[in-house]
């Protein structure tokens, strides 16, 4: 067993050393002891109190035995209806965890470095994550075009990096123009034009520059990044290397969520395979999160990488000028980066043409919940939502009908009734008060209690609120209490007024997307399901 000193020696000089060092202690001891925190603080010259505070921020860092060895059961919105609460009770020493990104074949149970999946304690099994099914609409794909090929996640199976070679043969200006021209935009949900972002980093002063791949896929109901990294990691690495060439970046980080331990190994292997090819000019690092939804927010992610308390950062300045270590940084989502190599090979026009109508390109959509065929699908922008749900995914289970779906995982709130008649693109969905975002869609059939679903969603936001800004920290708590009846007025008018006042102020004043988006849940609940709200208040919930 490595000594404290050996672990510190191994990491202290490395880039972004805090998380891997904490993981090293966590893995060695099964938890992070006081002694470990002191050793890390001393080794990295971070105040003890700060390391302590940061450790407590992450869900998965245990501070006492059995710690890492105890099972954690996903109780996310989809898994909740797949038997998660019962499974949680039946596993000794198990604790709940937020959506762990396995909604398409839940329920995942994380123990140590292993995820097992099943609906009951007896049926838990370690199986590879589901591969995206062949495109049900038979449309041309970009990201998933080759993902189903055998051994695609190995260097041999990938048969790629031609795009990198081609990109390296291009001038930065031409490469940037190509990406801009493709209309590729941030697929993590924010939709910022990728070419423009890269250009800003290329032009920003300060070195070294970095490419950060945001693989902290924490939005409930989203599991597309998992699929890409499990089955096509080289596509992402190649995308990062192309981004590095375009911007002059010399460092890259993949920030992967804690709950994907098998993915970590796959990516680690792929990175080792690619190391030589990437060359000395671009050094790649893989970092594992500690379990915190907010670390998917780019400012939090950067703070987390740097070993700081993972609060979102104030903007401006933006990461393009003040990112990792306050230097110019591209932060791109996994899917965005995975789209880059095909665009370089096939051209901007080809990519634009994949969308329907005036929409450019494709979007990966994760569909789960009460649906016949859950999974990841690559859809052209502009595809009607109902086509996806009913034709691609087979609609609601036998004998039931779709009551509501969530948009952007949970962040977009609910769509229901006539408003399901939208197309998969931001203008169409935003017109209904929701947004597409990272395109996690959870389906709830007509047997579900929507107030309960909303409560589960708001509880998630409350638990994941970082605690930095007042509207989100207090607002998510108060909305949660109003959804389960723990506090708040029993009178419906007053209840609606309080919920609406809180929600509106959260949307207007929250410091990051979490607090801005969370009230979409309550606002859409009240909009589509006023009777359920009234009934629930009447029943004294």
Partner 1 sequence: MIAEVKPTATATLTLDGVEVSFTEGETIYEVAERAGREVPTLCYDARLEAFGGCRLCVVEVDGMRAPVASCTTPATAGMVVKTTTDAIEKHRRTLLELVASENRENEVDELRGHASQELKSLLDRYEVRGGRFAGRQSGTSNSTDDNPFILRDYDLCISCYRCVRVCAEQEGDHAITMMNRGFEKQITTEFNGILKDSACTFCGQCVQTCPTGALGDRKAMRAESLPGEVEKTRTVCPYCGVGCSVDLLTKEDRLVGVQPAMDGPANEGALCIKGQFAFDFVQHEDRLKMPLVRDEDGELHETDWETALDRAADGFKKAAGEHGRHAVYGVASGRAPHEAAYTMQKFIRAGFGTHQIDNCSRA
Rule CB under 8 A: which residues touch partner 1? 34, 37, 47-50, 52-53, 56-57, 292, 294, 309, 314, 316, 462-478, 481, 486-488, 498, 501-502, 504-505, 507-511, 516
What is the nearest approach in angstroms of partner 1 to the Cβ of residue 315? 8
Coil vs helix vs strand at 76: coil
What is the nearest approach in angstroms of partner 1 to the Cβ of residue 250? 29
Strand partners, 407: 413
Distance in angstroms (rounded) separating the CA atoms of residues 153 and 396: 33
What is the nearest approach in angstroms of partner 1 to the Cβ of residue 518? 11
What is the nearest approach in angstroms of partner 1 to the Cβ of residue 489? 8
Strand partners, 375: 367
Bond before 118 cis per omega within 30 degrees: no
Task: Please identify, using beta-carbon distances, which residue of 262 and 498 lies nearer to partner 1.
Answer: 498
What is the 3 state secondary structure string of 238-260?
Answer: HHHHHHHHHHCCCEEEEEECCCC
What is the nearest approach in angstroms of partner 1 to the Cβ of residue 529? 23
Task: Please identify, using beta-carbon distances, which residue of 173 and 486 lies nearer to partner 1.
Answer: 486
What is the nearest approach in angstroms of partner 1 to the Cβ of residue 434? 16
Task: Please identify, using beta-carbon distances, which residue of 40 and 115 lies nearer to partner 1.
Answer: 40
What is the nearest approach in angstroms of partner 1 to the Cβ of residue 504? 8
Bond before 43 cis per omega within 30 degrees: no
CB atoms within 10 A of CB 107: 28
Structure tokens, 193: 């034009």
Task: Please identify, using beta-carbon distances, which residue of 339 and 465 lies nearer to partner 1.
Answer: 465
Q: List the end-to-end C-alpha distance of the chain, in Å, as a whole number.
A: 52
* Number of residues written out for the chain: 541
What is the nearest approach in angstroms of partner 1 to the Cβ of residue 245? 32
Task: Please identify, using beta-carbon distances, which residue of 53 and 427 lies nearer to partner 1.
Answer: 53
Distance in angstroms (rounded) separating the CA atoms of residues 139 and 126: 32
Closest by CA position to 299, among listed 291, 290, 308: 308
Closest by CA position to 255, among listed 179, 199, 310: 310
Task: Please identify, using beta-carbon distances, which residue of 349 and 501 lies nearer to partner 1.
Answer: 501
Task: Please identify, using beta-carbon distances, which residue of 50 and 86 lies nearer to partner 1.
Answer: 50
Structure tokens, 327: 């230097």
Beta strands 251-256 and 283-288: pairing type?
A: parallel
Task: Please identify, using beta-carbon distances, which residue of 45 and 138 lies nearer to partner 1.
Answer: 45
Cβ distance 536 to 448 under 8 Å? no
Determine which helix (DSSP H) or strand (DSSP E) holds 227, and give its type and residue range: helix 224-231
């Amino acid at each position: 067993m490595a000594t404290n000193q050996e672990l510190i020696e191994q990491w202290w000089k490395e880039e972004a050393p805090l998380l891997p060092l904490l993981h090293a202690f966590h893995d060695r001891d099964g938890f992070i002891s006081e002694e470990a925190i002191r050793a890390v603080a001393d080794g990295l010259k971070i105040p003890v109190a700060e390391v302590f505070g940061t450790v407590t921020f992450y869900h998965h860092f245990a501070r006492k035995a059995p710690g890492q060895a105890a099972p954690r059961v996903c109780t996310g919105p989809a898994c909740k209806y797949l038997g998660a609460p019962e499974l949680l009770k039946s596993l000794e020493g198990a604790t709940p965890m937020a959506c762990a990104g396995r909604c398409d074949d839940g329920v995942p149970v994380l123990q140590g470095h292993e995820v097992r999946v099943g609906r009951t304690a007896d049926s838990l099994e370690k199986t590879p994550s589901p591969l995206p099914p062949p495109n049900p609409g038979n449309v041309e794909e970009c990201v998933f075009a080759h993902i189903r090929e055998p051994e695609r996640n190995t260097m041999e199976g990938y048969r790629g990096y031609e795009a990198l070679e081609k990109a390296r043969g291009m001038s930065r200006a031409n490469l940037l123009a190509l990406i801009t021209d493709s209309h590729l935009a941030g697929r993590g949900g924010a939709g910022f034009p990728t070419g423009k972002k890269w250009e800003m980093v290329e032009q920003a002063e300060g070195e070294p520059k970095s490419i950060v791949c945001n693989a902290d896929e924490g939005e409930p109901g989203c599991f597309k990044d998992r699929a890409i990294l499990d089955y096509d990691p080289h596509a992402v690495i190649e995308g990062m290397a192309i981004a590095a060439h375009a911007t002059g970046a010399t460092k890259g980080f993949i920030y992967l969520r804690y709950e994907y331990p098998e993915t970590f190994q796959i990516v680690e292997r792929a990175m080792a395979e690619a190391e030589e090819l990437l060359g000395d000019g671009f050094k790649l690092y893989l970092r594992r999160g500690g379990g915190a939804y907010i670390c998917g927010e780019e400012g939090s992610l950067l703070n987390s990488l740097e070993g700081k308390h993972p609060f979102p950062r104030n903007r401006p300045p933006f990461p393009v000028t003040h990112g990792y270590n306050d230097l110019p940084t591209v932060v791109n989502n996994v899917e965005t980066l995975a789209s880059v190599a095909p665009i370089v090979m096939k051209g901007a026009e080809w990519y634009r043409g994949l969308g329907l109508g005036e929409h450019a390109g494709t979007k990966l959509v994760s569909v789960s919940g009460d649906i016949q065929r859950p999974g990841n699908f690559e859809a052209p922008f502009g595809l009607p939502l109902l086509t996806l749900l009913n034709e691609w995914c087979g609609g609601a289970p036998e004998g039931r009908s779709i009551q509501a779906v969530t948009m952007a995982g949970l962040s977009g709130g609910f769509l229901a009734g006539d408003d399901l008649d939208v197309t998969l693109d931001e203008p169409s969905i935003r017109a209904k008060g929701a947004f597409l975002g990272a395109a996690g869609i959870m389906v709830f059939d007509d047997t579900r209690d929507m107030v309960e679903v909303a409560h589960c969603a708001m509880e998630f936001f409350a638990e994941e609120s970082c605690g930095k800004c007042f509207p989100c920290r207090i607002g998510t708590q108060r909305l949660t209490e109003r959804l389960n009846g723990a506090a708040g007025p029993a009178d419906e008018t007053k209840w609606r007024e309080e919920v609406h006042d809180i929600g509106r102020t959260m949307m207007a004043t929250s410091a990051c997307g979490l607090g801005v988006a969370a009230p979409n849940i309550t606002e859409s609940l009240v909009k589509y399901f006023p009777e359920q709200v009234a009934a629930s208040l009447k029943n004294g919930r």
